[in-house]
Structure 1
Amino acid sequence: MKEKITDFDVSAYLDNEETIAEYLTVTLEENDPDLLLAALSNVAKARGMSQIAKDSGLGRESLYKALAPGAKPRFETIMKVMHALGVKLAVHA
């Protein structure tokens, strides 16, 4: 019998505020813009992409484009998405 291997989907595990906060914090520490976009996309997927698009004031397709690898979204767009996700950036010395 052949075993079926499926792709890992991190969004399935982003099911509470603490996990999401830790995931985004660790991602920010990598200093990789594409990784941050992927992480925000995963969190948005976990929360419901349509709802995040609505809450951020962006179209669903625009949200997908803004969070795609290699995209160069405006800071304002990232802040709208983060607000819709209910997360904030924090700076620590």
Structure 2
Amino acid sequence: MKKVTLSSFDAADYLDSEEAIAEYLNAILEEDDPALFLTALGDVAKARGMSQIAVQTGLGRESLYKTFAPGAHPRYETVVKVLKALGVKLTIAA
């Protein structure tokens, strides 16, 4: 029997366009799970380059990784800085 090797899935590998990022974040928002949203935001930051996001936000790269770690509870202002650095925004619709 042949041994099958699977690689782990990393969403950041597929977030290669503005459209893909917007669709991904919108789909995650529909899940209504704040922890999942933070994970997705971390995926997008990783896809764009965590070091670049750190420079743009004025936050340390290590602290950004901690911000998106499972169980983290980042401040709203941190999330807003990251969203701005990523060039995306949240909108509210009725």
**What band does the TM-score fall into relative to the shorter chain?**
over 0.9
Specify the alignment match of 1:27 in structure 2: 28
Runs of 4+ in 1 over 2 A off after TM superposition: none
SS at match of 1:4: coil
Q: How far is 1:56 from its partner? A: 1.0
1:44-68 Cα deviation digits (max 9, x unpaired): 1100011011111110011011111
Percent identical pairs in the alignment equals 63
Using the size of structure 2 for normalisation, the TM-score is 0.94
1:1-47 Cα deviation digits (max 9, x unpaired): 42211111111000000010010011111111110110011001100
Q: CA RMSD in A?
A: 0.8
AA in 1 matched with 2:18: E
SS at match of 1:46: helix
Specify the alignment match of 1:86 in structure 2: 87
Unaligned runs of 5+ in 2: none
Unaligned runs of 5+ in 1: none
